[in-house]
Amino acid sequence: MQTPSLQTLVTRPDLGLVEGRDALDSAKRSCDQPTLHLTPNSLAMIIVTRPDTTQEQIDHIVDRIRSWGLKAEVSRGEMRVVIGVIGPEDKIREKPLGAFPGVESVTPVLKPYKLVAREFRGRYSHVRVGDVTVGAKEVVVMAGPCSVESEGQITAIAKEVRKAGAKILRGGAFKPRTSPYSFQGLGKLGLQFLAEARQVTGMPIITEVMDTKDLELVCAYADCLQVGARNMQNFSLLREVGRTDLPVMLKRGMSATIKDLLMSAEYILNEGNFNVLLCERGIRTFENMTRNTLDLNAVPVLKSETHLPVVVDPTHGIGVREFVPAMALAAVAAGADSIMVEVHNAPEQAKSDGEQALLPADFEDLVARVRSVAVAVGREL
């Protein structure tokens, strides 16, 4: 089958290939979907059902909650169902939530982050990126170059990482750089090259969105939106990605605490998008032998505090090629649901961060070792 030209190609994971400006306009994701927001006067309550509660009783509880103008989020565990209730505090407190047949307990979420809190779901969330699930038993490997530089470059690297075992392709079309004179990315053309690589390999793509004005364009191509470390507290951007139906990977800011990261994620969930990945990518400390300090403490802490899947980016965390594999293995051992690794087939020619990118052969070796560690900690790859 002949592939449409890059000038007209637009890709959407739910629509396949569409062509032309009109098709792009019709494929744009709506940012106007109504949702119930938490406010300073809002409350989140957790309803836990008994093991013998019937589906009819659960449906009745949910229907009544929604009839009161409250929001209900249902999570199913092995033995019990957890129903998260969101709405104005005065309205929630006047309702007899504990009186429903089948209810075992009703508990308020007292943490400042309500929707992100593990108690709100009562189980770990699974986030779908294309046809890949992050947060289940399998450790998912994301890989690709820092920047998309050409169609040939991204497609060749995509084939290499796919063959080695990567499930999601990463690549930057818009690049936040410290210097305004550094390579800033190819923009729309880079997104088109990523779409071509997805067509060739079948891998879903994750790429960064830096500005609200670019969101609709990036949504038209991406399977997962990345909010970078520098934008972790760009609250306007967080709200906007929260109104899309694409999964979002939120990177921890280089000077942010774990609580800061969770509160930023709360902005996204509060707009209605619960498909969020949290990424530890290193924080800035007094240490200068490495690019950052990869805070692997964050992995078990996040797993205890939130239901959201945790991704670790050892490439940015340490910033030195020879040490990236060791930190990737440590991340899996610490409980990460996914790792993101930069790979380049000619790092000496890379337009950004070539010094920290693995060669394809080294990446292939790393994936084999990651598989062994995953099995050792009860996971799989």
User: What was the pLDDT predicted at 80?
Assistant: 86
CA dist., res. 166 & res. 84, Å (int): 35
Identify whether 24 is part of a domain: no
Residues 195 and 340 reside in one and the same domain: yes
Burial tier of 316 (Cβ tally within 10 Å: 0-12, 13-18, 19+)? buried
pLDDT tens-place string over residues 3-25: 333 333 444 444 343 333 344 44
For residue 55, the enclosing domain spans: 42-110
Angle between helices 324-334 and 360-376 (to 10 degrees): 20
Torsion of CA 239, 241, 246, 248, to 10 degrees: -100
**240 and 352 co-located in one domain:** yes
* pLDDT average, residue stretch 347-351: 87
Do 107 and 82 form a contact (C-beta atoms < 8 A)? no
Residue among 263, 313, 320 nearest 111 (CA): 263
**Residue 177: its pLDDT value, please?**
76
Q: Would you state the pLDDT for residue 42? A: 78
Q: How many CB atoms lie within 10 A of CB 378?
A: 7
Whether the per-residue pLDDT at 38 is higher than 90: the answer is no
Task: Indicate if 49 and 193 belong to the same structural domain.
Answer: no
* Residue 151 and residue 179 share a domain: yes
238-292 tens-digit pLDDT: 999 999 999 999 999 999 999 999 999 999 999 999 999 999 999 999 999 999 9
Query: Domain check: are 164 and 83 in the same one?
Result: no
- According to DSSP, the β-strands at 338-342 and 42-49 are unpaired
Q: Do 152 and 82 belong to one domain?
A: no
Asked whether residue 2 is assigned to any structural domain, the reply reads no
Strands (E), 252-354: 276-280, 310-312, 338-342
DSSP structure class, residue 333? H
Q: Which of 61, 77, 110 is the last residue of a domain?
A: 110
Task: Give me 363's structure tokens.
Answer: 């990446």
Please tell me the predicted confidence (pLDDT) of residue 297.
Answer: 97
**What CATH number is given to the structural domain containing 86?**
3.30.70.1140
Average of per-residue pLDDT across 320-325: 96
Question: Same domain for 227 and 339?
Answer: yes
The pair phi, psi for residue 182, each rounded to 5°, is: -80, 160
Q: Is residue 11 part of a domain?
A: no
Please report which confidence band the pLDDT of residue 89 belongs to, taking 50, 70 and 90 as the band edges: confident
The pLDDT value recorded for residue 76 is: 87
pLDDT tens across 147-179, in order?
Answer: 999 999 999 999 999 999 999 999 999 988 788
Strands 132-134, 224-227: pairing kind: unpaired
State whether 188 and 96 are in the same domain.
Answer: no
* Residues paired with 75 in a beta bridge: 82
Residue 20 lies in a domain: no
Q: Tokens 């990446």 appear where?
A: 363
Domain match, 68 and 169 both:
no
161 & 61 share domain = no
Domain co-membership, 227 together with 298 = yes
**213 occurs within a structural domain:** yes
Mean of all residue pLDDT scores within the chain:
89
Domain assignment present for 185: yes
How many domains does the chain divide into? 2
- For residue 223, pLDDT over 90 is answered with yes
- Are 101 and 133 part of one and the same domain? no
Could you tell me the CATH number of the domain that includes residue 232?
3.20.20.70
d(CA 107, CA 318): 41
In a domain, 176, yes or no: yes
- Examine residue 23 and state whether it is found in any structural domain, yes or no: no
Instruction: Spell out the residues 6+ positions from residue 289 whose beta carbon is closer than 8 angstroms to its own.
Output: none
